[in-house]
Amino acid sequence: MATRPEILFPLFAGLEALGGVGKKTAQHFSGLQIEKPRDLLFHLPHNLIDRARRDSLRGLELPAMATVEITVGPHHPPRSPSRPYRVHVRDAQMEWQLVFFHARGDYLKKLLPTGQKRVVSGKIELFDGIAQMVHPDHILRPEEAVHLPQTEPVYPLCAGVSAKVMIKAVAGALARAPDLPEWIDPALLAREGWPAWRDAVARAHAPETLAALSANAPARARLAYDELLAHQLTLALARARARRKPGRASAQSGALQAKVLAALDYTPTSAQSRAIAKIAADMARPQRMNRLLQGDVGAGKTLVALMALLIAVEAGGQGVMMAPTEILARQHHESLLPLAQAAGVQLDLLTGRDKGAERDRKLADLAHGRSRIVVGTHAVFQKTVEFADLRLAVIDEQHRFGVAQRAALSAKGAGADVLVMTATPIPRSLALAQYGDMDVSILDEKPPGRQPVQTALVSTARMEEVVAHLRDAIAQGRQAYWVCPLVEESELSDLTAAEARFTHLRAALGEGHVGLVHGQLPPAEKDAAMARFVAGTTKVLVATTVIEVGVNVPNASIMVIERAESFGLAQLHQLRGRVGRGAAASTCLLMYEAPLGETAARRLKLLRDTEDGFRIAEEDMAIRGAGDLIGTAQSGLPRFRVADLERQTGLMTLAQQDARKLLHEDPTLDSTRGEAARILLWLMEQDKAIRYLSIG
C-alpha cells in the first residue's frame, strides 16, 4: 500500500506538536474539525481588524476598533463586585475610559501605572455619552507597540479556542509548511497570476486588506483550485478505473425500439433522441457505461430509460429500473407496461410487498431470463434476487441512493452498464462535484403536449377564496393537489398539518371529494388513496411531500402549496411539475404567511417568473448554499474548506478539464507533474484516489 510522502509528515503530526497547544486545547480544536497542523493551514481568516495607530478617538464613528497612545489617569475601583473597574485615560485630544469586569486591582495598577504612556487597542463604544474600551485586546508600552501588526486576521473560533490561541497555533503550522513541488499546469499558473503553494498559504493567513479575503484574491483562488483539482483528480481516477473494468458490449438491432416508437402518440424531442443515441453508443462499447441523465420535470426521462433497457433486451440480456419509493416504482411500471407489451417484452414489478407464490414466480422468471425488464424499489438489491444476464441498471433519483447501493446493484450483473437519472436540475458546479466521474446527458426540452403552468402567489389570509376557487374547479370536473407544509419539529406535526387541512377541506368540499396521503400511512392505504385519486373518485388530494417525485395524474391541473416559503426552491419546482401533464390549462398557487422575508420573497417570485429548472437550481444554490441543496449527509458532496461551490463554478470546470487532461497524458501519475499531483492528493486526504493509483 502506498504511504504518505515524508515531506508532508510535519503537517500530519498531532496538534500538541505546536507551541501553546496542550492536550485539552487540542480537544477544543476538534470543534472546528481541526485535528492536525494541515487543517490549520486551510482554516482561513474571515475578517480583518485594522490596528493602524491613531492620535485620538476624536472624529471616529463609534462603535469601532481603534489603536491609540494614551496617558494613564486615575483608577476607580468598583464599590461592589458586580460593578466594573474603570481607568480614566487621555489621548492627544480627549479623555475617555478603559473598563474591566471582575478585575484584580493590583494587577491593573501594575499594567497601567498612573501618569505613564501606553498603547491600547480594542473596540470603542459609547456608553451614557462616554467613550469606553472594555477589556482592550492589547495593552503595550510604546516601545513594544512597534511590533503590533497594522492588521490582524479574525478566524472562526469555538469554545475553548481564543483568538490568541488560534493565531499562535496557525503561526506554528505555517512554520511547518514545506516547499512543495508544483502540481498546477505552469501555463495556467502564469495566466492566473497565482503564487506558489507555500506562499499562497502564508499570504492567505496574513491579509493586509479586505480585498485579500475575497474568494478571487490570488492566494485564496489558488488554494481553492488545489482543493477542486484534488477532488476532480479523484473522480477522474475513479472514472478511468471504472472504464478499465471489463463491461459487455450490447449491440442492438433497433427492432424493439421501433415497435415502441410506433406505439407512441408523439415524436420524441431532439434532446431525447440525442440522449438515446449517446446511450446506445456507450452500451455498444466493451467498457462499462456510467452515465447521468439529467432532465427537468417532465422532460421525458422515462422514455429514454425504456429505450436503453430495450437495448439490453435486444442484446439478449435483462435490464432493471430502480426507484426510491414504492409509489414511484408502481408508477414507472404502469407507464412502461403498455409500451413493453407493444414491443412484446415481459416487464415485472418487484417491491418489498411481493410475498409467497407471486414473489417466487417473479424471482424464477428473472433467474431463468423469462422476465426481461424488472422495475422495483431497493428490494431488487436483496441476495435472493438473481438475474440470468443483467446488462443495464437504471437508477432513478440518484440522490436518494448512496454510492454503495449503486455499486451493489451493478454487481448483480457482470459488468452491467449503469444509467443514473435525476429530475432534480443541479447547477453545473454541483453536478461536477457530485457526478464528475460520470458522463452527462441533459434533456433540456419538454415533450409536445406539456402545458405551461400559471404560477401565482397568494397570502394565507385569502384561504377561503382559494377553497371557493377549488369548489368551482371540481364542479367543472378538474382535480387538485393540496400540499401541506413541512413542519420541522417532528413527523407527527407534519401529520397534524395534513390531517387538519384534510378535515377542513372535507367539510368545505364534501366527504367523498377529498383524499389524504402522507408518509406515516401504511403502504396499502397510501396506494388505495392514490388509486382513488388516479381514478378520479377523489377530486382533491391532501398530501405531504410524498408526491414530490414522479406522481402522474394528467387530469390534475391545480397545485396548491401551503406555506410555500418553508420549502426549498428545487422542491417547489418538483411539486409544480406534478400538474401541467394533461390538456387543461394548469395553475400552481404558492400560499405564504405574510409578511414574507426578503429571501423568501425573492425565491417565490423567481418561481413565479420562470419554469426553467436549471435557472431555479442555480438561484437556489446562490441563496441556500450547496450542501443544503441536496442534503449533504446523503449527497456524498465533498466538504471543501477553502473552495466555494456557489461562487467558483468556473474553477470547478477548469479543475475537471485539467484533471482529465493530466490523466490522459500521464495515467499513472509518474511524470514530474504527476508526482507532484500525488503529493496534492495526500495533502488533501484523497486516500481513495491513492488507492485507485496503487491498485491500478
CATH of the domain at 110: 2.40.50.140
pLDDT for residue 622: 65
* The pTM of the whole model exceeds 0.85: no
Percent of the chain residues topping a pLDDT of 90? 50
Is the confidence at residue 373, as pLDDT, over 90?
yes
Cell numbers given for 374: 424488472
For residue 480, the domain's CATH number is 3.40.50.300
With H, G, I as helix, E, B as strand and everything else as coil, classify residue 262.
Answer: helix
Pairing of strands 117-127, 64-76: antiparallel
| 494 and 598 both lie in a single domain | yes
Range among 7-21, 189-203, 498-512, 544-558 with highest mean pLDDT value:
189-203
Condensed to tens digits (0 to 9), the pLDDT of residues 638-665 reads: 678 888 776 777 888 899 889 989 999 9
Same domain assignment for residues 510 and 603: yes
Q: Which of 222-231, 432-441, 611-620 has the highest mean pLDDT?
A: 222-231
For residue 496, pLDDT beyond 70: no
In angstroms, the CA 117 to CA 128 distance is: 26
Mean pLDDT of the chain: 86
Q: Considering the domain boundaries, does residue 503 fall inside one?
A: yes
Per the structure, the count of domains in the chain is 4
Q: Which three cell numbers stand for residue 680?
A: 496534492
Residue with more model confidence, 473 or 383 = 473
**282 assigned to some structural domain:** yes
Dihedral sign computed on CA atoms, order 143, 149, 150, 155: negative
Amino acid at 118: R
Domain-embedded: residue 294: yes
423 and 390 belong to one structural domain: yes
- Residue partners of 602: CB distance under 8 A and separation at least 6: 623
Residue 360 domain flag: yes
Instruction: Verify that 281 and 420 share a domain, yes or no.
Output: yes
> DSSP secondary-structure letter at 593?
P
95 in any annotated domain? yes
Cell of 550: 414522479
In a domain, residue 242? The reply is no
The reply to whether 522 and 541 lie within a common domain is yes
CA 511/CA 508 separation, integer angstroms? 9
Judge if 375 and 284 occupy the same domain.
yes
Nearest to 683 by CA among 193, 240, 203, 177: 177
Angstrom distance (rounded) from CA 98 to CA 437: 59
End position of a domain, from candidates 590, 610, 630: 610
Residue 485, pLDDT > 90, answer: no
What domain range includes position 74? 52-148
In this structure, are 300 and 403 located in the same domain?
yes
All three cell numbers of 341:
407489451
| Contact present, 616 and 610 (Cβ < 8 Å) | yes
Looking at the fold, whether 57 and 40 belong to one and the same domain comes out as no
Instruction: Tell whether 26 and 70 lie within a shared domain.
Output: no
Angle formed at CA 316 by CA 311 and CA 322, multiple of 5 degrees: 55
- The domain boundary, picked from 126, 148, 170, lies at 148
Round to whole Å and give the CA distance between 490 and 213.
40
> How many C-beta atoms surround the C-beta of residue 110 within 10 A?
9
**How many residues are there in the chain?**
696
Domain boundary among 148, 182, 197: 148
The answer to whether residues 67 and 207 belong to one domain is: no
Grade residue 624 by pLDDT with cuts at 50, 70 and 90: low
Same domain, residue pair 410 and 526 = no
Phi, psi (rounded to 5 degrees) for 568: -75, 155
3-class secondary structure per residue, 340-402: HHHHCCCEEEECCCCCHHHHHHHHHHHHCCCCCEEEECHHHHCCCCCCCCEEEEEEECHHHCC
Whether residue 639 is contained in a domain is answered as: no
Q: Is residue 16 in a domain?
A: yes
Q: Is the dihedral of CA 593, 599, 601, 607 positive or negative?
A: negative
Tell me, yes or no, whether 429 and 342 share the same domain: yes
Residue 190 cell numbers, joined: 502564469
